[in-house]
């Protein structure tokens, strides 16, 4: 009977540690991000809120994986004289989406109060809604695949700043047009 009580106590404390680790990871990886890109044909701005969960690999503690979840609010200005013109005036396309980045990274530099990481990996995005000049717009590829590469600098123990580049080879429109790319700036904990 004492062995059973000890096993129950150990399992309960391990489960509490796992839940605590999940909460810590979600807080540690919380971020606010901005994606920007301006071309001759369009301007893309994206605001997102997100978090993620990750772990170091056992074979190398400097190498890690992270899976995230971001809520995105995209705004596209489609220039009237550009390749994606929707009329005689600039058109405003707004999207709301969820994206799941899955990255593998490497901790290049780590000291007590700061670190520098590099990472890369795929991004799966699902566009939930889209509006063109205030009206519903359905000519969107709802499922988007992309790739990201970037760096993450953590300082003063808890603050983080990321800079990355993302490319989406899937066209935003159902006809395959508007393959997106952008530079991402992110601040977090």
Convert the pLDDT of each residue in 1-20 to its tens digit: 444 444 344 444 444 456 67
CB 161 within 8 A of CB 186: yes
What does the pLDDT read at residue 189?
59
Domains of the chain: which residue ranges?
2-188
pLDDT interval class at 21 (50, 70, 90): confident
Q: What is the pTM of this model?
A: 0.81
Tally Cβ neighbours within 10 Å of residue 158.
Answer: 11
Spatial separation of the C-alpha atoms in residues 36 and 147, rounded to whole Å: 16
Average the pLDDT over 113-132 and give the result: 94
Question: Counting Cβ atoms within 10 Å, is residue 55 exposed (0-12), middle (13-18) or buried (19+)?
Answer: exposed
Spatial separation of the C-alpha atoms in residues 189 and 143, rounded to whole Å: 29
Spatial separation of the C-alpha atoms in residues 23 and 139, rounded to whole Å: 39
What does the pLDDT read at residue 112?
76
Average the pLDDT over 124-136 and give the result: 96
pLDDT interval class at 65 (50, 70, 90): very high
Fold for the domain defined by 2-188: Porin (2.40.160)
């Amino acid at each position: 009977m004492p062995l059973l009580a000890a096993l129950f106590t150990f399992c309960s404390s391990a489960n509490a540690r796992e839940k605590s680790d999940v909460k810590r990871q979600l807080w540690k990886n919380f971020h606010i991000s901005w994606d920007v890109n301006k071309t001759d044909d369009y301007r893309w701005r994206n605001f997102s809120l997100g978090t993620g969960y990750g772990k170091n690999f056992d074979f190398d503690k400097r190498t890690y994986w992270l899976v995230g979840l971001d809520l995105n609010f995209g705004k596209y200005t489609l220039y009237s004289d550009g390749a994606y013109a929707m009329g005689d005036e600039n058109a405003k396309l707004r999207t709301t989406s969820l994206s799941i980045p899955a990255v593998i990274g490497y901790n290049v530099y780590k000291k007590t109060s700061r670190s520098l990481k590099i990472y890369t990996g795929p991004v799966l995005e699902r566009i939930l809604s889209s509006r063109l000049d205030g009206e519903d717009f359905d000519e969107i590829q709802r499922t988007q695949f992309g790739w990201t590469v970037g760096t993450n600098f953590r300082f003063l123990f808890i603050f983080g700043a990321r800079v990355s580049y993302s490319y989406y080879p899937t066209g935003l429109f159902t006809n395959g047009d508007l393959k997106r790319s952008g530079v991402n700036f992110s601040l977090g904990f």
